[in-house]
């Protein structure tokens, strides 16, 4: 979670209920656990709330999928990428130096299957 502390929070402090680093950690953990959209992340996190509270406070509970999507859309992609790469480098040091990781091509080959707003890969 500490790698996400470096990401600038674009939200107004008066209207912020959830800690940014905690919110981003919930998103990453949800995706790594198989959730593929913000609704799935919210559902997963609610099921795993006790586990998540083992390493974060989550004083306001689990953010809604609307909040997750809105905040994730506001943060700097470059800052998130840099923080995520630092985390991956700490977990798997061999990947710390711009190593390319091949991913399963099934999702990318079937990116047309989901609805047009939630494609696995953007269509250009």
pLDDT at 89: 86
Domain of 79?
Answer: 17-109
Assess if residue 31 is contained within a domain: yes
pLDDT at 95: 65
Name the band, by pLDDT with cuts 50, 70 and 90, for residue 78: very high
Model pTM score: 0.75
Among candidate residues 40, 64, 45, the one with its CA nearest the CA of residue 114: 40
Q: How many domains does the chain have?
A: 1
Name 12's Cβ contacts closer than 8 Å, sequence gap at least 6.
none
User: Percent of the chain, pLDDT > 90?
Assistant: 65
pLDDT: is 5 or 96 the higher one?
5
Assess if residue 22 is contained within a domain: yes
pLDDT at 5 over 80: yes
Assess if residue 6 is contained within a domain: no
Measured between its terminal Cα atoms, the distance across the chain in Å is 34
- What average pLDDT score do residues 48-57 get? 97
Among candidate residues 5, 49, 10, the one with its CA nearest the CA of residue 29: 49
Assess if residue 93 is contained within a domain: yes
Q: Tokens 């709330």 — which residue?
A: 49
CA distance 108 to 122: 10
Assess if residue 121 is contained within a domain: no
- What average pLDDT score do residues 78-94 get? 89
pLDDT at 14: 92
What are the distances in angstroms from CA 25 to CA 12, 16, 109, 119, 122? 20, 16, 28, 23, 24
pLDDT: is 119 or 97 the higher one?
97
Assess if residue 123 is contained within a domain: no
pLDDT: is 110 or 32 the higher one?
32
pLDDT at 124: 40
Chain-centroid distance of CA 99 in Å reads 21
């Amino acid at each position: 979670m500490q790698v996400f502390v470096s990401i600038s929070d674009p939200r107004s402090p008066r209207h912020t209920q959830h800690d940014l680093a905690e919110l981003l950690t919930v998103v990453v953990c949800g995706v790594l656990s198989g959730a593929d959209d913000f609704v799935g992340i919210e559902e997963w996190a609610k099921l795993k709330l006790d586990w998540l509270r083992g390493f974060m406070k989550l004083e306001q509970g689990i953010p809604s999928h609307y909040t997750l999507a809105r905040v994730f859309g506001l943060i700097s992609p470059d800052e998130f990428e840099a923080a995520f790469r630092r985390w991956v480098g700490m977990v798997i040091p061999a990947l710390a130096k711009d190593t390319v990781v091949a991913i399963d091509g099934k999702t990318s080959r079937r990116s047309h299957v989901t609805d047009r707003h939630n494609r696995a890969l953007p269509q250009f």
